Amino acid sequence: YALQGTRWRVKNLTYKISKYPRNLPKADVDMEISKAFNIWSGITPLTFTKKKSGPVHIEVRFENGEHGDGDPFDGPGGTLAHAFFPVYGGDAHFDDAERWTVNSYRGTNLFQVAAHEFGHSLGLSHSDVRAALMAPFYRGYDPTFELNDDDVDAIQALYGLPKKTNNKPTPTEAPGEEEDAELCNDATVDTLFNSAEGVTYAFKGLHYWKLTEDSIASGYPRLISKSWPGLPGNIDAAFTYKNGRTYFFKGTQYWRYTGKKMDGDYPKQISEGFTGIPNNINAAMVWGGNGKIYFYKGSKFWRYDPTSKPPVKNSYPKDISNWEGVPNDLDAALHYTNGYTYFFKKGSYYRFNDRTFSVDVADPPFPRPAGYWWFGC
């Protein structure tokens, strides 16, 4: 990889799309541009916030021909886009004469080109690694796109690792006892779920752990992006439905996998695939009591039945307090292979008894520390 030589001195960057293309709906453009920023924010401490007006760090524009910066676009083909390095302002310009497309082998994929350009906006020059995103040539639409290690190394050389995983050894390179430290120092997790094969996984940040009966398997953590290509880190919730598909949720989007292979074009909007379910959920699970999907957010929960119309009844959301002993603001929910339902919050967990419909009274009492009881710390 090659670094241009300058970088942003702030971590929280803003952007706006001040000129949209002719041939794509605004909503699609907003989504693809957001996704393109997200691939960089997922592996760095950087955040990107969209603004509609006012001054921003990175301005995105779709332009034709000469457009004021002395570097005119050349019509279809040839130059697709260009962007300015941080020292020159970070703006990204796209040739509006291109046929920009979304999730299509036709035309030019906006997400991939935007992700490349934003690499320049952040300080990366072109890489001579052909498989890298930052290679200068457009390689066509890749439905399972993911960053090359060269891209990851480049951007992390400039901005470091995401905050939560800072100063941690790279798990795949340095397996050993230290690997468990992150989960043992703070057993807070993003999500826990069972695979279709009955394996339980814990996700946290960019990493995941495979759970054994009373601990975690050796060789973990591993990178989520390595095992589930196309899936970002910092997942909100996940579950495997009885159709064998695993669903992952983050922000406004969700992804569907069969095993560890993405099922076609994802992410999709939660509002499209799970009508009636809010964005930014805290936790989700398939409850053993009735096989329906439950989503949790704040102090509310929603029951989702894909076979019903509407899938979420009008009586939802309901208060989580209906689940006796279960707290609000959950991190994860899991219907475990032993028939109990477990709820996780801030490194502690609650065992919910489906028959009494309440958190068990036990010794030691719940909540208990998840690090000791689940992760073998």
Partner 1 sequence: ASFVPTLQDESVKAVMYLAQFGYLPAQMTNPNSGHLMSQDAMTDAIKEFQAFAGLNITGNLDKETVETMKLPRCGVKDKVGFGIDARSKR
Contacts 24+ apart (CB under 8 A), 363-372: 366/325, 367/327, 369/187, 370/187, 370/189, 370/344, 371/183, 371/184, 371/187, 371/347
CB of 166 to partner 1, least distance (A): 30
CB of 7 to partner 1, least distance (A): 16
Nearer Cβ to partner 1, position 135 or 237?
135
Two structure tokens written together for 183: 């989960």
Candidates 125-133, 144-152, 250-258, 358-366; binding stretch for partner 1 (CB under 8 A): 125-133
Nearer Cβ to partner 1, position 89 or 244?
89
CB of 175 to partner 1, least distance (A): 33
- Which of 117, 173, 179, 213 does the annotation list as catalytic? 117
Q: Is 126 in the site for partner 1 (CB under 8 A)?
A: yes
Range list of β-strands (E), 298-361: 300-304, 318-319, 332-335, 341-345, 348-353, 358-359
Among 34, 108, 200, 225, binds partner 1 (CB under 8 A): 108
Instruction: Look at the block and give the residue holding tokens 């006012």.
Output: 54
Strands 300-304 and 318-319: what pairing? antiparallel
Among 83, 189, 277, 326, binds partner 1 (CB under 8 A): 83
Among 85, 100, 201, 301, binds partner 1 (CB under 8 A): 85
Contacts 24+ apart (CB under 8 A), 302-310: 302/276, 302/277, 302/278, 304/274, 304/276, 304/277, 306/241, 310/275, 310/276
- Spatial contact of 222 and 172, defined as CB atoms under 8 Å apart: yes
What is the sign, positive or negative, of the torsion defined by CA atoms of 69, 71, 74, 80? negative
Nearer Cβ to partner 1, position 51 or 130?
130
User: What is the DSSP annotation of 9-26?
Assistant: S-SEEEEEEEE--SSS-H
Using CB under 8 A as the binding rule, the residues of this chain from 19 to 78 that contact partner 1 are: 69-71, 73, 77-78
CB of 113 to partner 1, least distance (A): 8
Nearer Cβ to partner 1, position 84 or 239?
84
Among 19, 50, 67, 82, binds partner 1 (CB under 8 A): 82
Q: Per-residue contact track with partner 1, 129 to 168, x per CB under 8 A? A: -x-----xxx------------------------------
CA distance 79 to 72: 9
Helix axes 110-121, 149-159, angle to 10 degrees: 30
Among 1, 62, 84, 249, binds partner 1 (CB under 8 A): 84
**Quick one: DSSP state of residue 3?**
B
Helix (H, G, I), strand (E, B) or coil at 151: helix
Strands 191-194 and 108-109: what pairing? unpaired
Nearer Cβ to partner 1, position 94 or 375?
94
CB of 133 to partner 1, least distance (A): 10
Nearer Cβ to partner 1, position 4 or 165?
4
Does 117 qualify as catalytic in the annotation? yes
CB of 87 to partner 1, least distance (A): 8
CA distance 171 to 162: 15
- Spatial contact of 209 and 202, defined as CB atoms under 8 Å apart: yes
Q: Contact positions toward partner 1, by CB under 8 A? A: 4, 69-71, 73, 77-85, 88-91, 98, 108, 113, 116-117, 120, 125-126, 128, 130, 136-138
Catalytically annotated residues? 117
